[in-house]
Chain A
Amino acid sequence: GEDVEQSLFLSVREGDSSVINCTYTDSSSTYLYWYKQEPGAGLQLLTYIFSNMDMKQDQRLTVLLNKKDKHLSLRIADTQTGDSAIYFCAESRMDSSYKLIFGSGTRLLVRP
């Protein structure tokens, strides 16, 4: 199937770390992405990882990839109220002509 799955909601306290999880469908996925969507806005690309990598770090963001379990996670260090948004993971697969297949999104709420 084409389902990319994410938990729907995460609430954290400001200053804590947030971990958003995603499971994808196909170990042949070429690219895996994290996008952020704020209310009324489009999708902002946060980071991406190639499927031959295990980890990628970019400032406060760390992406971990477990190919065996088809599990992708996004860790946000020192979470701020401005990080409150919906986070989408997406995969891009050769057998789907590389179109982006999105999860349903995780709503992150950062409490002051």
Chain B
Amino acid sequence: KAGVTQTPRYLIKTRGQQVTLSCSPISGHRSVSWYQQTPGQGLQFLFEYFSETQRNKGNFPGRFSGRQFSNSRSEMNVSTLELGDSALYLCASSLDRVPDTQYFGPGTRLTVL
């Protein structure tokens, strides 16, 4: 069974732009969570989606948003990019809602110049 896939793997943007990242969960998994990883703050939870609904949200500004489609694929969007948004964005899927075990994708490395 294929693992979690994320596209693109690498992205370079400039301040003020917006970006959309995509995540395809493991087949049959219905929950998708997003995490941001930076050297300074470590791994921080962004949000969780299940059945196309946001179930939980971390402490991030409204510039960070997401959605989930009927096939469980998820996208996250960051608008008005700031230098501090440079990070590795990780997506995790689980069969059911957390605390079901989460499996992570390889991440999207976003660099904001």
Residues of chain A having any CB pair with chain B under 8 Å: 30-31, 33, 35, 41-45, 48, 88, 90, 92, 97-105
Contact = CB atoms under 8 A, between A and B. Distances in A.
Contacts of B90: 42-43
A105 B39 CA distance: 11
Contact of B98 (A35, A88, A99, A103): A99
Given A43-B90, A92-B98, A92-B99, A99 B45 contact: yes
A100 B101 contact: no
A95 to B, nearest CB: 12
Interface of B: 4, 6, 33, 35, 42-43, 45, 48, 55-56, 58, 90, 92, 97-99, 101-107
Given A44-B104, A45-B103, A92-B99, A99 B42 contact: no
Nearest to A99: B45
21 contacts: A41-B106, A42-B4, A42-B90, A42-B106, A42-B107, A43-B90, A43-B92, A44-B104, A48-B101, A88-B43, A97-B48, A97-B55, A98-B97, A98-B99, A99-B33, A99-B45, A99-B58, A100-B45, A100-B92, A100-B102, A102-B42
Ranked nearest first, the 8 interchain pairs of A and B with the lowest CB-CB distance are A98-B98, A102-B43, A43-B104, A98-B99, A99-B45, A42-B106, A92-B99, A42-B104
Contacts of A35: 104
For A35, A42, A92, A98, the residue with the greatest tally of chain B CB atoms inside 10 Å of its CB is A42
Given A31-B101, A97-B55, 7 more contacts: A45-B104, A48-B101, A92-B98, A97-B56, A99-B98, A100-B43, A104-B42
A42 B103 CA distance: 10
Contacts of B33: 99-100
Contacts of A101: 45
